[in-house]
Amino acid sequence: MIERNGIVELLKKVNNLSLSSGHFVPFICQGVQVGIVTEQVCKVLLRYPHVFNVTPAYVTFSPILEGFHQCSQALNEVLLELRSNLEFSSLKGWRDECYEISSSYGSKPFFQIERSGAPIFGIRKYGIQINGYVNHSQQGLCLWFQRRSLTKPTYPGQIDNFVGGGLTEGRGVLETAIKEGEEEAGLEPHLCKNILPTGTISYLHQSDRGIHPLTEFIFDLELPESWLPANKDGEVDEWILCPVNKIFDVLFSKDLKLTSSPVIVDFLVRHGILNIENEPDLPIIAELLHTPLHLLNSVPS
């Protein structure tokens, strides 16, 4: 049923940037690596010496900038100019919504950055994903998937996990999961009582929009067979209930949003559907689901 190396190759397409690759330099703030910048981006940042100190080994804010507000404001002005120049595709999706950047999840922020600018600086991001599943009386274990609306700015029309979303300032992780579940799938509060946090997955992905070091907080949620999702925010076009015996059709479908695949694989591993008896690459798969992004926080020597 499973093609040898198929899952490893898929997860390597997600983790398509090696931490040891020499084609980028660290973005360092207060002695901590907060991002990854390509040589191409460095060339652009050299135009802004009053904002960035760009060296062959690293990028930092200019020492003339002090504190959260000065750094955030100067960075925002650069991003606004780059947006009007149309130099970076990611800025086309300007959100007017900021990520606060700190040394680790939840600690005091060094600066904030417009969400669409984060991939230019390879800023570490956090999100939530809910695996909605049903122990179906006829079909056995099934997983819910959504097809993203054709009007979404990213990955329109692609198959995606049941519920997912980015963490933004001022909202807790479980709180975000419940809010996204309500908006995307119409999850009622009494169903959310069964939501189970099951850990995190992490990957380092490079796309045409930039570099994405992403950590997803994963939740499992068992749903009644009789329940049907009902989208409320117009971002979902279709709901698909897939029995696990057809899960590899979804996993290897060209319609699947690439970065949704590790969420599915993690579910299959934790529930014993993928195991060493049917998948000899299980050890490398488990490692590729947990790329050590914490190493990005070490200052390189």
| Of 240 and 284, CB closest to a second copy | 284
> Looking at 52, 61, 99, 217, which residue binds a second copy (CB under 8 A)?
217
Contact between 293 and a second copy (CB under 8 A)?
Answer: yes
| Of 160 and 281, CB closest to a second copy | 281
Contact between 171 and a second copy (CB under 8 A)?
Answer: no
| Of 199 and 234, CB closest to a second copy | 199
> Looking at 16, 21, 85, 275, which residue binds a second copy (CB under 8 A)?
275
Contact between 141 and a second copy (CB under 8 A)?
Answer: no
Contact between 180 and a second copy (CB under 8 A)?
Answer: no
Number of chain residues interacting with a second copy (CB under 8 A): 38
| 166 DSSP β-pair partners | 127
For residue 192, give the nearest of 151, 227, 240, 147 by alpha carbon: 227
| 26 DSSP β-pair partners | 36
| Of 19 and 258, CB closest to a second copy | 19
Q: Give the CA distances from residue 128 to residues 20, 25, 62, 270, in Å, rounded to whole numbers and listed in that order.
A: 27, 28, 34, 17
Nearest-approach distance from CB 126 to a second copy, in angstroms? 8
> Looking at 202, 206, 259, 260, which residue binds a second copy (CB under 8 A)?
202
| Of 55 and 275, CB closest to a second copy | 275
> Looking at 140, 197, 224, 234, which residue binds a second copy (CB under 8 A)?
197
| Of 107 and 151, CB closest to a second copy | 107
Nearest-approach distance from CB 252 to a second copy, in angstroms? 20
Q: What is the DSSP string of the chain?
A: -PPTTHHHHHHHHHS-S-TT-SSEEEEEETTEEEEEEEHHHHHHHTT-TTTEEE-SS-EEE-TT--HHHHHHHHHHHHHHHHHHHT--GGGGG--S-EEEE-SSTTSPPSEEEEGGGGGGGT--EEEEEEEEEEEETTTEEEEEEEEEPTT-SSSTT-EEESEEEE--TT--HHHHHHHHHHHHH---HHHHTT-EEEEEEEEEEEETTEEEEEEEEEEEEE--TT-----SSS-EEEEEEEEGGGHHHHHT-TTB-GGGHHHHHHHHHHTTSS-TTT-TTHHHHHHHTB--GGGGGSPP-
Contact between 56 and a second copy (CB under 8 A)?
Answer: no
Contact between 2 and a second copy (CB under 8 A)?
Answer: no
Contact between 270 and a second copy (CB under 8 A)?
Answer: yes
Nearest-approach distance from CB 172 to a second copy, in angstroms? 7
| Of 45 and 285, CB closest to a second copy | 285
* Residues 61-120, interacting with a second copy (CB under 8 A): 104-107
Per CB under 8 A, residues contacting a second copy are 104-107, 126, 172-174, 196-202, 215, 217, 269-272, 275-277, 280-284, 286-294
